Structure 1
């Protein structure tokens, strides 16, 4: 039987560790510090998301606590990644999921957790940013990995909605991966989304392509609660408002909303 008081205490210690760990990456340059703060806030928001999803999926309290631990640690690789490379682009630096798992191992920060829970958390951190979820024979590992992948996507959408709604002076410089702002978007990227496929980053040539890539993640959510949060936050409308107002984008928006409502609630009538 799980001792919930001990589980709560372990999580509290982990929260304190995270605060101390990230404080070690305080940087003098204002732009660099804005990028570090972006990931600290992102982590806190992901913890809120993953807790809401776990609760929405009627998880018992012990699983909700494990989920928050996953959320807290999922991006710890981002801080040394940025400190060393000044980028969040894994393609030109280092895989931040794998780095995060290595930090967990080298610091022993999960040593007080039961071995099975340690394995679940490390697995989720290592693979949360993979293009697709790796196959696993362990249903618990799969469950928590899917939780963090959904919670992460939900907050990345928030980050970019705020990014595109703010002035260039206020934007965290590393968020957009150095992609150029072009007027249009790639037919190949749009075609992927229309086929309900997740867009690979290799196809992305511009910020508009990157927005379409993020919209394609809607087809890679795993829980009804995740779709409900997507709908509640009007993410599709907010994201597509920053794309060119073409007939194709409107059709895509309608299709995505219908899909989300089908997965998370009762489907609305399709537009004519």
Structure 2
């Protein structure tokens, strides 16, 4: 089955969900655009990495469908914050099964796609995943991160107030700061959504994603796109975020020089 058939299926499903929206459909539009751009990121990674045809196709479909649960999540709960609603990865798996979106794919492809969708939003992955599963999941996670950076850079450079759903209902309070986010950045590891206290913590978390990318192609794109640096430069030159921002910017500049 041609990938275009799946792209059309997602467009049709999105249109049905959008038509039933009782609240502002703007966040749904953002998620649809995001899904297509994550697919494009994954396509670049598949081209750059030496994957088998099975893994390559599974990566593309898992990337395309990774956020299929977001539409129903927003319609039900009015938020994209999983901790305040539901696990959108698990919801996406249920939707793909319910709607039969993968019914015409070979069983091995369907299995890998469902794993990619169901695991893409885990903070930490299972330790002993089969290699093919791990490749699909990590491609989706990297491709997802790269486009979330674009979305957040565009949104946070725009006029305030920020849309609550886009910034996960976090307060835009410059006096707040999460010690756990700060510690994660200084220890050169990815910060956790659960530790966010404010929008500025979110900026730091997004920059810290560099430490959690799995492929050289995704690391190069992260640095080339420049969205993380832009987000970090939006932080004020004062406590409580300036010093950790500067440390992270130094890390990214050093990585760019050797990329």
Query: TM over 0.5, yes or no?
Result: yes
Matching residue within 124, 130, 144 for 1:138:
130
Q: Distance in 2 between matches of 1:201 and 1:154?
A: 16
Q: Distance in 2 between matches of 1:163 and 1:152?
A: 16
Matching residue within 57, 66, 70 for 2:49:
57
Matching residue within 181, 190, 198 for 2:172:
181
Query: Does the CA contact (< 8 Å) of 2:69 and 2:95 recur in 1?
Result: yes
Matching residue within 236, 242, 251 for 2:228:
236
Q: Give the TM-score of the pair, scaled to structure 1.
A: 0.86
Kindly report which structure 2 residues correspond to 1:29-44, keeping only aligned pairs within 5 A, or say none: 32-44=24-36
Cα-to-partner distance string for 1:34-64 (whole Å, 9 max, x where unaligned): 1110100100110110111111113356644
Matching residue within 75, 90, 93 for 1:101:
93
Q: Distance in 1 between matches of 2:251 and 2:115?
A: 33
Query: Does the CA contact (< 8 Å) of 1:31 and 1:172 recur in 2?
Result: no
What residue in structure 2 maps to residue 168 of structure 1?
160
Shift of 1:259: 4.1
Q: Work out whether 1:257 is the aligned partner of 2:253.
A: yes
Q: 1:73 to 1:36 in 2, by over 3 A?
A: same
Q: 1:219 to 1:261 in 2, by over 3 A?
A: farther
Shift of 1:203: 1.9
What residue in structure 1 maps to residue 214 of structure 2?
222
Shift of 1:137: 3.9
Shift of 1:174: 0.8
Shift of 1:31: 6.3
Q: Distance in 1 between matches of 2:160 and 2:207?
A: 22
Shift of 1:227: 0.7
Which blocks of at least 5 consecutive residues in structure 1 are unaligned?
A: 1-6, 266-272
Higher alpha-carbon deviation: 49-58 or 115-124 = 49-58
Q: Distance in 1 between matches of 2:243 and 2:81?
A: 32
Q: 1:116 to 1:252 in 2, by over 3 A?
A: same
Shift of 1:251: 2.4
How big is the alpha-carbon RMSD for the aligned residues of Structure 1 and Structure 2? 2.0
Q: Distance in 2 between matches of 1:148 and 1:130?
A: 12
Query: Does the CA contact (< 8 Å) of 1:231 and 1:260 recur in 2?
Result: yes
Q: Give the TM-score of the pair, scaled to structure 2.
A: 0.91
Runs of 4 or more, structure 1, over 3 Å off, are 27-31, 58-65, 259-262
Query: Does the CA contact (< 8 Å) of 1:127 and 1:134 recur in 2?
Result: no
Please state whether the residue corresponding to 2:25 is helix, strand or coil: helix
